[in-house]
Structures are given as C-alpha cells and as structure tokens.
Structure 1
Amino acid sequence: MQILLILIVVLGGMGLSVEAGLLGPLGSEVGELWATLSIFGVGAALTFFLMLFFSPRESPSFFSQPPLLLIGGILGPVYVVVLTVVTPVIGIALTMIGILAGQVFQSLIIDHYGLFETMERKIDIKRIIALFFIIAALIFMARG
C-alpha cells in the first residue's frame, strides 16, 4: 500500500512540474496574478463539481474550522505566484528542486515536533543526509 501511495505522490509532483511549465507562459500573457487567479478558478470549479458528486453530505462546516487550518488558502496562491514569476527565469528543474529543498526542510521540522496535529517523526541521520543530498542537487543545478 505504501508503494502505491508513494507512486501517487510522485505523479502529483510530476503534475506540479507541468503546472510550473504552463504558468510561465500564461503569466507572461496575462500577468502573474491573473495567471494565479485562473489556476485557482479552474481548480475551484473542478473541486466544486467533485464535491457535488463525491463529498459526504454530513461533513462539518468549513466555517467551524480553526483559522490555523485555513492557512493553506494563503500559502497556495503564494506558491503559484512564486512558480509563475521564478520558473521562466531559472527553469522548471531548478525551480522544482528549490521547492523540494524548502518542502523537505520544513517537513522535517513539522514531523520532528509533530506540528499541526501530525504524528511525531524525529529527525535522524538518514533524514539529514537526504536533505543534504537535495541541497547538494540544488547547488549543482544552480551552477550548471
């Protein structure tokens, strides 16, 4: 089961690279913020239709959730604006490895302390070495 979930995550990451590649040209045509709005507009419409057919009818209210849980609503557009502005300048591969370095670094901290009600997974030498290799890849790609 874990292998299947890892495969799904890898495919999702591949989709993000495609999205980054599409955002650059879209941003240069309509502007970075309009490109971001269009991406989220299409995503919101798709999510709405998926909710109509697949969401449980008795789910808790969106408005009853703690505000901290809704920060992703701010972080998502920031991420897309960064992709839209940076990708055309430094390329998709360097953008994605930079994003990956930031994600893994922050994820290690979140896991280590069990933030956001996640299970604690302490930082160990294997995780530090993995982060080191990602940072090394970022440095090698930036110099290339």
Structure 2
Amino acid sequence: MSRLLAVLATVLAGGLVGMQAPINSVLGKRIGTLAAASVSFAVGLAALAALTVLIGGGFGRLGEIRGLPWYYLIGGLLGAVYVTCVLLSVRTIGAGGVAAATIVGQLTMSVLLDRFGLLGLPQRPLDITRLAGVALLVAGTALVVRG
C-alpha cells in the first residue's frame, strides 16, 4: 500500500469512527449502555468473521495465539473500554469533543510507545516538535470541548 493510499484509507476510517459515537449513543439510549456496546461489537465480530472466512482464508493459524504474550490479546478489550466510554461521553461533550479527546489520547499514548519502543515498535525520539504537536492537540481539544 502506498503512503498516500494509507493516509487516505486512515482518514476515511477516522471519519467512520467519528460516526460511531453518536450511533452507539442513540443505540445506548434505546437498549442500555452495555447492551449497546455489546451489540456494536457483535455486529463488528460478525462482519470480521465473514471477511476472514470469505477473503482471508479462514482461521487456520489461530493456534499461533498460544505463543503470544497476553497483552497482545487485549485489543478487543481496549476497544470495548473505548466504545463504552464514548457511548457515555458523547452525550456530554458531543461528537467533536469525543473525536478531539480521542485523538489526544491516541497521540499521547502513541508517542510514548514510540519513545520507549514498546509493543514491537522501533524506538523513536521524543523531540520538541512531537511534544509541540501533542500540546497543540491538547489546546485544540480544549477549544472544541469548551464551545
């Protein structure tokens, strides 16, 4: 995948994530917060399982999971925490506030993971430009949430 295509695909996926909070919030008001988060993940699981079977060749290498450290298996749990939190917070800070706060959290954690070379990532320095980028996002989030 080219760099441009990767950026465009990620922008598109980010736009879809921007829709996720209000959709799940309405679902949560109708059926309950945890039920809505569960339904959201169940629909996602069904779609991914179908794609895995139809396009990915099935679950033949699932046994390889045994050799992984436990923390590589909690991605779904982290997603569930995010979806549940967003389901509630979007009602207070709106979709823009949720998106801004999410990006601040993602970027902050990401630069720390890069800095220390955690989770299989190569180490990257934490320099003034990266710190300034995080600080500007924090400031931008404060402006979005304040409004």
TM bucket, shorter chain: over 0.9
Counterpart Cα distance in 1 of 2:120 and 2:27: 37
Counterpart Cα distance in 1 of 2:22 and 2:144: 17
Distance 1:22 1:117, change over 3 A: same
**Equivalent position SS for 2:35:** helix
Counterpart Cα distance in 1 of 2:64 and 2:20: 27
Identity score, percent? 28
* Residue correspondence of structure 1 range 1-144 to structure 2 within 5 A: 1-56=2-57, 58-61=60-63, 63-64=65-66, 65-144=68-147
* 1:58-84 deviation digits (Å, cap 9, x = unpaired): 525254132110121211110000111
Counterpart Cα distance in 1 of 2:87 and 2:107: 21
Counterpart Cα distance in 2 of 1:42 and 1:114: 34
TM-score relative to the length of structure 1: 0.93
TM-score relative to the length of structure 2: 0.92
Residues paired across the two proteins, number: 144
Unaligned ranges ≥5, structure 2:
none
Worse-matched range after superposition: 100-109 or 66-75: 66-75
**Equivalent position SS for 1:61:** helix
The runs of at least 4 aligned residues of structure 1 exceeding 6 Å deviation read: none
* 1:103-137 deviation digits (Å, cap 9, x = unpaired): 10010000111100111121122211111110010
CA RMSD of aligned residues (A): 1.4
Counterpart Cα distance in 2 of 1:54 and 1:122: 38
Read off the aligned partner of 1:17 and give its amino acid letter: G
Structure 1 residue 92: deviation in Å? Answer: 0.3
Unaligned ranges ≥5, structure 1:
none
**Equivalent position SS for 1:91:** helix
8 Å CA contact 2:18–2:99 kept in 1: the answer is yes
